[in-house]
Amino acid sequence: MAGHSHFKNIKRKKEAEDRKKAMAFSRFSRLIISSVREKGKDPESNPSLKTIIEKAKEADMPKENIEKAIKRGAGEGEEGRLEEFLVEAYGPEGVAFIVKGYTDNKNRNLGEIKDVLKKHNGKIADPGSVKWLFDVVGVLEVEKGDESTLLSLIEAGIDDFREKEDFIILYTPPKETEEIKKKLIAKNIRVTSAFLGFKPKNPFPSPFNKHISLCEDLLSCENVEEVYFNTT
């Protein structure tokens, strides 16, 4: 039994590490796409892209994943012709999910997402039954920097943000995203990504956090780029 327990612990640890990698790869992919769309696909003339690629490589992101993200941002080849998909779902504890990505085969991706939801006692929701629980917002990611970064954000009129380990996520009205981005750049704050996303209207506390494991597994699915849920 002890050996079996040890094996299960190793397996759980590996699964957790795999989920963490998937989340990191998803973020790097989004950053690459955003950077290429804004300043081009050549890392030598796009220093921001060069830095992101270097960090992605340090995180062991596969070369083919990086190349796919660059092509998608540039609108080239099969990767550039991928369709956006958006799946609404419910997970454990009644948590609402929005799953977003780009694919050349929606049915394949939907099947994979359904399998992950089933594993976590979740299910696909009817279109529109979850989206109304979220607002469409501008989402900006900025480098954390030192304490002056937070002060600069407040001076720029931004009070809706979340601190992560090495970056900060800002939420803005969709139409003001570009204007706020310019303000931040003028204050020498490095904006690594800017896009439209979702924010829950009335997030609720979830004491068991079962949805976190589901979120990580969803991000492990092929072509899933973003996952949103309505908890604090």
Same-domain pairing of 50 and 96: no
The verdict on 164 and 210 lying in the same domain is yes
If asked whether residues 100 and 14 sit together in one domain, one would say no
Total domain count, the chain: 2
Q: Are residues 109 and 27 in the same domain?
A: no
**Residues 13 and 95 grouped into a single domain:** no
> What is the pLDDT at residue 203?
93
| pLDDT, mean over the chain | 86
> Which amino acid does the sequence have at 156?
A
Q: What range does the domain containing 87 cover?
A: 82-232
Q: What is the pLDDT of residues 147-195, one digit of tens each?
A: 788 888 888 778 899 888 788 999 999 999 989 988 898 888 888 888 8
Sign of the C-alpha dihedral, residues 38, 183, 24, 108?
Answer: negative
Most confidently modeled range among 20-24, 196-200, 221-225: 196-200
119 with 196, same domain: the answer is yes
Q: Same domain for 57 and 142?
A: no
73 and 92 assigned to the same domain: no
User: Which pLDDT score is estimated for 230?
Assistant: 95
User: What share of the chain in percent tops pLDDT 90?
Assistant: 41
Query: Which pLDDT score is estimated for 10?
Result: 53
Sign of the torsion formed by the C-alpha atoms of 230, 22, 17 and 7: positive
DSSP structure class, residue 75: T
The candidate with the shortest Cα–Cα distance to 122, out of 163, 152, 94, is 94
Does one domain contain both 157 and 50? Answer: no
pLDDT at 9 over 60: no
What would the pLDDT profile of 39-91 be if each residue is shown by its tens digit? 899 999 988 899 899 989 998 999 999 998 999 888 887 776 778 899 999 99
Q: What CATH number does residue 153 fall under?
A: 3.30.70.980
pLDDT over 80 (residue 11): no
Q: Is the pLDDT of residue 7 over 50?
A: no
Query: 88-117 burial by CB neighbour count: b if 16+ within 10 A, else e?
Result: bbbbbbebbbbbbbbbeeeeebbebbeebb
**Where is the domain boundary, 77, 99, 127?**
77
pLDDT for residue 6 is more than 90: no
What is the per-residue pLDDT for 85?
92
Query: Is the same domain home to 26 and 63?
Result: yes
In this structure, are 98 and 70 located in the same domain? Answer: no
